[in-house]
Amino acid sequence: MPHPYSSRKVLVTGGAGFIGSHVADALIAEGANVHVLDNLEGGRLENIPDAAVFHEMDIRDPAVATLFEEEKFAAMVHLAAQMDVRKSVADPAFDAQVNVLGLLNLLEAGRANGLEMVVFTSTGGAIYGDPDPNVNGGGPQPESHPELPASPYGITKLVSEHYLRFFDAAHSLPYVALRFANVYGPRQNPHGEAGVVAIFTERLLRGEQPVINGPGKQTRDYVFVGDVVKAVVSALAFAGSDVINIGTGIETDVNELFEHLNRLTGGRAEEKHGPGMPGEQQRSVLDASYAADVLGWRPEVALADGLAETVAWFKARRDNAPASGITDPVS
């Protein structure tokens, strides 16, 4: 059966970025007429598929309204964001300008111009914080887990979900907010929630020694970008509005992650530890059984396989860097 947005116009904000560019690829493969809106702040032109129409624009720009008026998008996958947790702590006002006012700019333009569906890329880890021992025995966190964002980034993602609920109630604009775990894979950068994968891989490929913060027992739920994209494509076809976790339910600590990446890059580095990061979240793991029920979504790529694909991509980019002029993201 063709996808409901096959042959229709879908706007992918942040489509020059890591996850957004994979989403744009997948929607083009589904036959959608994909438009990408990105200010290239963190994204790269070479990530945007040739078949997509590119609008170089900031989501806060008043010109967004004119773009929606002219293009009459049927659906929007909203990924453009200030997505650096540390930057959100250093400059909460900037984080809110991009993540809250940018979203409102898009939603106002959308509701005035016949937008039919929004898929929003939210976060599990930054909204729930450490697992509550009284929920699911302190194991994988369901959507009903208390929401205690510890950073302005987590706060603006949660506020965004509330605005989406408001636009649905007030203007009949349905949405699915996908609360991602830590997404890794080809094209990722060091700033996202799974940035450690990019940082360690780059260092190991350069023959440098990565340093693990503290004892390395901090856990995260690493989900492969290819799996996440399948969730986005299914969510776009979802009838109704909802908030849905997307993760693997598996916790991996930094030492294990280092072990995988060291092996995949030749196994020459030592496990070296530095001082811990004060206030760092210790654990994060999502229960995605609701996604299985309502979207039929399950993660398919095992961590070892996803990391092998990721390392192969970083290696190929490194080998091609002088010719393509791509700069190293970790300085």
> Which residues of the shown chain bind ligand NAD in the complex (CB under 6 A)?
14, 16-20, 38-43, 58-60, 79-81, 83, 98, 102, 121, 123, 180, 182-183, 189, 192-194
42, 32 Cβ separation under 8 angstroms:
no
| Gap between the Cα atoms of 147 and 179, Å rounded | 12
Catalytic residue among 153, 184, 222, 290: 153
Of 108 and 271, nearer to ligand NAD (C-beta) is: 108
Of 191 and 318, nearer to ligand NAD (C-beta) is: 191
CB of residue 207 vs ligand NAD: minimum separation in angstroms?
A: 26
CB of residue 40 vs ligand NAD: minimum separation in angstroms?
A: 5
Of 16 and 176, nearer to ligand NAD (C-beta) is: 16
163 is catalytic: no
CB of residue 203 vs ligand NAD: minimum separation in angstroms?
A: 19
CB of residue 115 vs ligand NAD: minimum separation in angstroms?
A: 17
Of 147 and 271, nearer to ligand NAD (C-beta) is: 147
Residues annotated as part of the active site: 153
